[in-house]
A and B are shown apart, each in its own frame.
Chain A
């Protein structure tokens, strides 16, 4: 291994020597290249770019970057080139020092067109391959991988030899393979080896690279490329499925959040709360208000805004829920259809009230730093906010299970769900349980609002978008059992995301609705139905 590396270094040195002798033969390639910029012709500018990039001058990267930003100025009369730096100071491009003496008065930026911009990017890519910052080097390697610029090959070889960071090295090797693959004078064996490297990369870019191979390629190369494409595609299909499953889990967690409160009120009281979506909306607006207060008073607390909003949203939505139960719903027991209408009316009132108070436009709810950004897992991209929402949902779910299982309130709630009359006979105050259940369900809706404020538009219509979906979850999962809601939500979420690529978002949704309608033919009371005589009453 060491011997190979040693030989490699030797070759590189030899190459470097040749290069330096070649450059030495001419007066000053850097100055010549710079002069090309003063011609104000696109072709000359290309020569200038390539010349500067190949010169090895330490100023090369600065010059090309300035050119890219339109900060490279030239004077046609004096045939001099200047860089305007970020402090608006003029530097002489030849020396890198502040421009001395009187400035020519015909300064104009060197012009670029789209063709040139690509060349600039490629040149910059190969120039930054040896930048001290590994992030920059990685970026440069990716740029070369995309540009397949043959001029970058010597720089690549040099960079690969000197690279210590394994990730960057990998990227460099892949970039080199991409260049070799598109090199006219590379041998078939080299190209096939390059295909092998690219095949290992196995992502969408690799696929594009192999797919773009000219048809004039030798049969052996073409075959290797076709094999690699097939292998990458099957690999990508797996990752695609995983990514879809992840999106599905994410959607499912959102559905679960929105539906879980609905499920307990429906399970315990047999009441459909059409204003449930508005409880979600109130939770989101609570988050908005908390953030506004923090922004105005103490911006350094912004990262804790959600932590502050969570109990507040629970309290606001829960309190309003209890008010609704005490003020309206308790007069309508035994008349579920009327309850449905009354709560629909309430939802209209709440929506309009929020619209009057906050205006009809979307409100900007910020994302704390620990929830923004994303990371890659293989070929999947996972955003932190989605990840946190799944965690949050599962925590709420487990918390609710614990309340139902281990507290006196939970015990009484389960008793009322199973047989209201019997529970009342045993001394449980069913009306108190009803009010508390409704409060709990609404409070959880408020929590859902905090989470949804991170991924959806906070507007008065926020809740409406979720209400039908969460009903579907409840109908599908069955009432009286939280596990039903969990399974229902994740099934619908994942099914939705897997149907989407085939049927499109809207048709996928329609298909889900039709499937649910067919499903309740088989199981009218959902997946996890309560059994027993009491349920039929």
Chain B
């Protein structure tokens, strides 16, 4: 049938459908970006521009100058923010508490690290044109098959999304299909990242053992240490965070997102209404894992190393507390929480207070769950809502809303 359609008509149809798709996407994005979201995006963009300008265009003796240490430190925070965002998407909106999201982050990081290793070429300690240093050191005769292709940035970028996504899909398919939920799922995700950590610690896995991948030289032909590259990586992190934020907003403000919230609040009921709960969960889990992978990929060139300790379960749980501090189910809160907690961590662990950081972190876990269950942003939103509704409030609506909030928790 379609073969008989005249060519111009086919083109018109495809042009029309492209236009329709574009406008549909445009509408979805427009719906997703309310005033708060736009303000947040503007802030991130402004921060990115400011940091890039202050680190590159301002002379080094000026008091406004930002050192490249500062730039990569904040770039690291932005990567953590993207990781927190990916956790908030599944935990805040779908009730999946993953204690193994660090695994996806680290896998993305390893994919990027492998690309960076291949870029070293003959500048390594052993000056081998193909094999990375650690393989020469461990007497590997040739490059393992799974390292093929990583010299190409496009392939590596694809793997950054594909590997975490595939793992999340397979894992989610198994876990959600058999209705593993709640704490069981949390524990299993923790076991997943623990197993990966044990594996990556082994030398014969071919990922550098416990030293991991390091000593990077170039990314896309630019020196990773150069201030320009650091600023560019910072900007890329900011852009990735903005794109991640927009994707999350689009997802949660769509009908798909409403179903996710329904699953979070009453999974059995949603299933009985005819929704394929496991399909929704697997999809959002995979999306979230891809975002975490991107965060890891941007993290690695900025800190200059990736090693198996990134897989440690403690890291993943720490990422969850960023979300809890900022406010679960708020997206902006996840970003703010990640930056706040990590800023505090840097301040604490670099000074004389270093031994007390774990007390603070532990206390944060307890205090936030007990005293601030909505998180910072969630609490602020709650207050402003209350304040706005005070005038036209009726006791009835108040009670309904309270019940809804309680159900959501």
| CB within 8 Å of A: which B355-380 residues | 355-356, 358-359, 361-366, 368-370, 373
Known: A352-B355, A475-B188, A516-B191. A521 touches B365 (CB 8 A): no
Question: A518 within 8 Å of B by Cβ?
Answer: yes
Q: Do B361 and A520 touch across chains, with their CB atoms under 8 A apart?
A: no
In the complex, what residues of A have CB within 8 A of residue B201's CB? 506
Which one of A204-212, A340-348, A430-438 contacts B? Answer: A340-348
Known: A506-B198, A516-B191. A349 touches B370 (CB 8 A): no
In the complex, what residues of B have CB within 8 A of residue A471's CB? 187, 190-191
In the complex, what residues of B have CB within 8 A of residue A517's CB? 171, 174-175, 188, 191-192
Question: B116 within 8 Å of A by Cβ?
Answer: no
Known: A345-B363, A348-B365, A521-B178. A336 touches B183 (CB 8 A): yes
Known: A332-B369, A340-B186, A345-B364. A513 touches B358 (CB 8 A): no
Question: A272 within 8 Å of B by Cβ?
Answer: yes
A472→B195 CA distance, assembly (Å): 12
Q: Say how far B187's CB is from chain A's closest CB, in angstroms.
A: 5
Residue of A nearest to B91 (CB): A337
In the complex, what residues of B have CB within 8 A of residue A535's CB? none
A–B complex contacts, Cβ < 8 Å, 20 sampled: A328-B370, A335-B409, A336-B182, A341-B369, A342-B366, A346-B365, A348-B359, A349-B366, A468-B194, A471-B191, A472-B191, A506-B199, A506-B202, A507-B202, A514-B195, A516-B191, A517-B174, A517-B191, A520-B178, A521-B178
In the complex, what residues of B have CB within 8 A of residue A346's CB? 362, 365-366
Q: Do A356 and B355 touch across chains, with their CB atoms under 8 A apart?
A: yes
Q: Do B370 and A331 touch across chains, with their CB atoms under 8 A apart?
A: yes
Which one of B45-53, B313-321, B388-396 contacts A? Answer: B313-321
In the complex, what residues of A have CB within 8 A of residue B275's CB? none
Q: Do A520 and B188 touch across chains, with their CB atoms under 8 A apart?
A: yes
| CB within 8 Å of B: which A363-396 residues | none
A507→B178 CA distance, assembly (Å): 25
Known: A340-B186, A471-B187, A520-B178. A347 touches B409 (CB 8 A): no
In the complex, what residues of B have CB within 8 A of residue A506's CB? 198-199, 201-202
Q: Do A341 and B355 touch across chains, with their CB atoms under 8 A apart?
A: no
Question: B97 within 8 Å of A by Cβ?
Answer: yes
A510→B201 CA distance, assembly (Å): 12
Question: B184 within 8 Å of A by Cβ?
Answer: yes
Question: B138 within 8 Å of A by Cβ?
Answer: no
Number of interface residues of B (CB under 8 A): 44
Q: Mark A249-269, 1 if CB is under 8 A from B, else 0.
A: 000000000000000001000
A521→B172 CA distance, assembly (Å): 11
Q: Say how far B325's CB is from chain A's closest CB, in angstroms.
A: 11
A353→B363 CA distance, assembly (Å): 12
Q: Mark B161-194, 1 if CB is under 8 A from A, else 0.
A: 0000000000100110111101110111011101
In the complex, what residues of A have CB within 8 A of residue B362's CB? 344-349, 352
Question: A227 within 8 Å of B by Cβ?
Answer: no
Q: Do A510 and B409 touch across chains, with their CB atoms under 8 A apart?
A: no
A507→B373 CA distance, assembly (Å): 40
Known: A468-B190, A516-B191, A521-B174. A342 touches B365 (CB 8 A): yes
Q: Do B363 and A349 touch across chains, with their CB atoms under 8 A apart?
A: yes
Residue of B nearest to A506 (CB): B198
In the complex, what residues of A have CB within 8 A of residue B97's CB? 337, 340
In the complex, what residues of A have CB within 8 A of residue B359's CB? 348-349, 352-353
Q: Say how far B356's CB is from chain A's closest CB, in angstroms.
A: 8
Q: Mark A456-480, 1 if CB is under 8 A from B, else 0.
A: 0000000000001001100100000
- Top 8 closest pairs, chain A to chain B, by CB: A345-B365, A348-B362, A349-B362, A352-B358, A345-B362, A342-B369, A513-B195, A338-B369
Question: A509 within 8 Å of B by Cβ?
Answer: yes
In the complex, what residues of B have CB within 8 A of residue A331's CB? 370
In the complex, what residues of A have CB within 8 A of residue B183's CB? 266, 270, 272, 336-337, 340
In the complex, what residues of A have CB within 8 A of residue B358's CB? 348-349, 351-352
Question: B324 within 8 Å of A by Cβ?
Answer: yes
User: 8 extra interchain contacts, Cβ-Cβ under 8 A, other than A342-B365, A506-B199, A506-B201?
Assistant: A332-B369, A340-B186, A342-B366, A345-B366, A352-B362, A516-B191, A517-B188, A524-B178
Q: Do A475 and B192 touch across chains, with their CB atoms under 8 A apart?
A: no
Q: Say how far A282's CB is from chain B's closest CB, in angstroms.
A: 15
In the complex, what residues of B have CB within 8 A of residue A468's CB? 190-191, 194, 313
Q: Say how far B195's CB is from chain A's closest CB, in angstroms.
A: 4
Q: Do B366 and A513 touch across chains, with their CB atoms under 8 A apart?
A: no
In the complex, what residues of B have CB within 8 A of residue A339's CB? 369
A390→B188 CA distance, assembly (Å): 28
Q: Which residue of A335, A340, A518 contacts B174 across the interface (Cβ within 8 Å)?
A: A518
Q: Do A341 and B187 touch across chains, with their CB atoms under 8 A apart?
A: no
A144→B183 CA distance, assembly (Å): 62
In the complex, what residues of B have CB within 8 A of residue A342's CB? 365-366, 369-370
Residue of B nearest to A523 (CB): B178
Q: Do B198 and A509 touch across chains, with their CB atoms under 8 A apart?
A: yes
A266→B184 CA distance, assembly (Å): 11
Q: Say how far A240's CB is from chain B's closest CB, in angstroms.
A: 25
In the complex, what residues of A have CB within 8 A of residue B198's CB? 506, 509-510
Q: Say how far A306's CB is from chain B's closest CB, in angstroms.
A: 30
Residue of A nearest to B368 (CB): A341
| CB within 8 Å of B: which A133-185 residues | none
Known: A506-B201, A518-B174. A344 touches B317 (CB 8 A): yes
| CB within 8 Å of A: which B191-218 residues | 191-192, 194-195, 198-199, 201-202
Q: Say how far B166's CB is from chain A's closest CB, in angstroms.
A: 16
In the complex, what residues of B have CB within 8 A of residue A475's CB? 184, 187-188
Q: Say how far A493's CB is from chain B's closest CB, in angstroms.
A: 17
A266→B182 CA distance, assembly (Å): 13
Q: Say how far A197's CB is from chain B's closest CB, in angstroms.
A: 43
Q: Mark B134-171, 1 if CB is under 8 A from A, else 0.
A: 00000000000000000000000000000000000001
Q: Do B179 and A524 touch across chains, with their CB atoms under 8 A apart?
A: yes
In the complex, what residues of B have CB within 8 A of residue A341's CB? 317, 320-321, 324, 365, 368-369
Q: Mark A316-331, 1 if CB is under 8 A from B, else 0.
A: 0000000000001001
A468→B2 CA distance, assembly (Å): 58
Q: Say how far A492's CB is from chain B's closest CB, in angstroms.
A: 12
Residue of A nearest to B366 (CB): A345
Q: Say how far A123's CB is from chain B's closest CB, in angstroms.
A: 44
Q: Do B191 and A513 touch across chains, with their CB atoms under 8 A apart?
A: yes
Q: Say how far B389's CB is from chain A's closest CB, in angstroms.
A: 26
A272→B186 CA distance, assembly (Å): 10
| CB within 8 Å of A: which B78-102 residues | 97, 99
A222→B188 CA distance, assembly (Å): 55
| CB within 8 Å of B: which A489-534 residues | 506-507, 509-510, 513-514, 516-518, 520-522, 524
A344→B359 CA distance, assembly (Å): 12
A336→B401 CA distance, assembly (Å): 23
Residue of B nearest to A479 (CB): B184
A521→B180 CA distance, assembly (Å): 8
Q: Say how far B271's CB is from chain A's closest CB, in angstroms.
A: 13
A344→B320 CA distance, assembly (Å): 11
A351→B201 CA distance, assembly (Å): 24
A97→B198 CA distance, assembly (Å): 65
A336→B178 CA distance, assembly (Å): 20
Q: Do A337 and B182 touch across chains, with their CB atoms under 8 A apart?
A: yes
A472→B194 CA distance, assembly (Å): 12
Residue of B nearest to A518 (CB): B174
Residue of A nearest to B370 (CB): A331
Q: Say how far B249's CB is from chain A's closest CB, in angstroms.
A: 24
Q: Say how far B196's CB is from chain A's closest CB, in angstroms.
A: 8
Q: Do A338 and B182 touch across chains, with their CB atoms under 8 A apart?
A: no
Most A-side CB within 10 Å, residue of B171, B178, B355? B178
A517→B321 CA distance, assembly (Å): 25
In the complex, what residues of B have CB within 8 A of residue A328's CB? 366, 370
Q: Say how far A317's CB is from chain B's closest CB, in angstroms.
A: 18
Q: Say how far B101's CB is from chain A's closest CB, in angstroms.
A: 14
Q: Which residue of B184, B199, B365 contacts A520 across the interface (Cβ within 8 Å)?
A: B184
Q: Do A513 and B370 touch across chains, with their CB atoms under 8 A apart?
A: no
